Amino acid sequence: MRILLTSLAVVLACAARPAAAQGTRATAAANAQNRLALSESRPEASPRRMRLACAPLTGQVFEANGRPLLGATLLVKGTHQVYVTDAEGKFRITDVVYQGQELTIGAAGYVTQDVALEDCTLPRLVLAKDPTAHIRRNGKRAGQLIRLDGKSVDMK
């Protein structure tokens, strides 16, 4: 069995060699015509994203009236990095971020905003109130009501 497999491997190796390697007279032009391209030419390499050298990246999120927004969430798109603003609306991104990544800022009752991370400075992050979101209070409890695709959802 081993001899059969060895002889089969030798036959396949000889058959796979080009004609010039087997001792026949083949011209370089014939070899060039018989070649098969196994891959296409490489497309132009996309520019590598640069790592921003401002670790940590800090900022602050505000309401439209200028007050700091407590509890806003910040998500770096393409990752699982999620951050939450503190009582003063401040946040601190400690993980590595790259130029061109997007930061999504959102909060319950506010319109979500996307910001491109181009350098270490962020613009003033202001979230506008969502006109379709309503806050409903029942005595000591407070819940929120958000309209999604024309349907009301009660979140408690």
Q: What does the DSSP 8-state code read for residue 99? A: T
pLDDT in the model for residue 42: 56
Say if 30 falls within a structural domain: no
pLDDT above 60 for 23: no
pLDDT above 60 for 130: yes
Domain range for 102 is 57-130
Q: Average of pLDDT values for 19-39?
A: 54
Say if 88 falls within a structural domain: yes
Q: Average of pLDDT values for 6-25?
A: 56
Summarize pLDDT for 79-91 with one digit per residue, the tens: 888 999 999 999 9
Residue 73, domain CATH: 2.60.40.1120
Predicted TM-score (pTM) of this structure: 0.55
Say if 76 falls within a structural domain: yes
Q: How many domains does the chain have?
A: 1
Query: How many CB atoms neighbour CB 27 within 10 A?
Result: 10
Say if 16 falls within a structural domain: no
Query: How many CB atoms neighbour CB 83 within 10 A?
Result: 19
